[in-house]
Amino acid sequence: MDSSYLFQSQRLGFRTWHTSDLKEFSAMNADPETMHYFQKPYSDEESLALMKRMNSLYKEKGHCYFAVDLLENGDFVGMIGLGTKTFPAHFTPCVDIGWRIQKKYWNQGLASDGAAKCLEFAKNLDLTLVYALASSQNSASIRVMQKIGMKYDCDFEHPDLIDHPRLQPCSLYKIGL
C-alpha cells in the first residue's frame, strides 16, 4: 500500500486534504452539472472551507469525505467518504456516506468502488449503521447506494432544502455493518 494513503481500494487511494487539491476541487464544485443536485455550485472559498472542515472532522472522528486519487496515475478523482449529519430529522445525528467525483470519472464504477471500501473502513471504526441521502431525482447516486448494499428507508423533506423545492424530497438509505 502507498503510505501517502490512509487506505486503498483496488483503484482508489483515500487521504486527507491538501491545499494543492483546491484548484481541482474548486473546479469540480463550480461545475453546474456536477452540482445539479445541490443548492448551488461552490465558490473557491466554500470549497476551501469544506476541505478544512473535512480535515477537522477526520482529526475529531477518524473519518471524513476523503480526497480520492486514481492509484494508476495519482489523478484527483473527487471525494468519497463518511460524514456526519446533524440537521433535525428522525435519523440524526448520524454518520452518512457520500461522494462527489469529477465528470470525467463518471460511469466508471469509481463511486461504487470507493463507497464500498468506505463501508469496510466504517467497520474498523466500530460504526454499526451508516446512512446515505440524496435528492430522490438523483438516480445515479441512488444506484450507487443500492450497488453497495444499502436499503431504502424513506423519503423525507430535508430541512436545509426548504428554499430549494426542486431538490425535494430526499431519499434515505441505510446499511447495518
Q: Is residue 1 part of a domain?
A: no
| pLDDT bucket at 3, cuts 50 / 70 / 90 | confident
pLDDT tens for 43-89 read 999 999 999 999 999 999 999 999 999 999 999 999 999 999 999 99
Domain holding 86, by residue range, is: 7-176
Q: Residue 110: pLDDT above 80?
A: yes
Average pLDDT over the chain, rounded to whole? 97
Q: Is residue 80 part of a domain?
A: yes
CA geometry: angle 43, 18, 68, nearest 5 deg: 85
Separation CA 27–CA 49 (nearest Å)? 14
Q: Is residue 2 part of a domain?
A: no
Kindly list the distances between the CA atom of residue 41 and the CA atoms of 85, 105, 107, in Å, as whole numbers in the listed order: 20, 19, 21
Q: Is residue 146 part of a domain?
A: yes
Q: Is residue 41 part of a domain?
A: yes
Query: What is the residue type of 68?
Result: V
pLDDT tens for 132-172 read 999 999 999 999 999 999 999 999 999 999 999 999 999 99
Q: Please state the pTM of the whole predicted model.
A: 0.96
Q: Is residue 15 part of a domain?
A: yes
- Residue whose grid cell is 474498523: 124
- Percentage of the chain beyond pLDDT 90 is 98
Q: Is residue 138 part of a domain?
A: yes
Q: Residue 98: pLDDT above 70?
A: yes
What CATH code is carried by the domain that includes residue 84? 3.40.630.30
Q: Is residue 158 part of a domain?
A: yes
Rg (CA), the chain: 15
Q: What is the DSSP letter of 124?
A: H
Q: What's the pLDDT at 1?
A: 64
Q: What's the pLDDT at 113?
A: 97
Tally of structural domains, the chain: 1
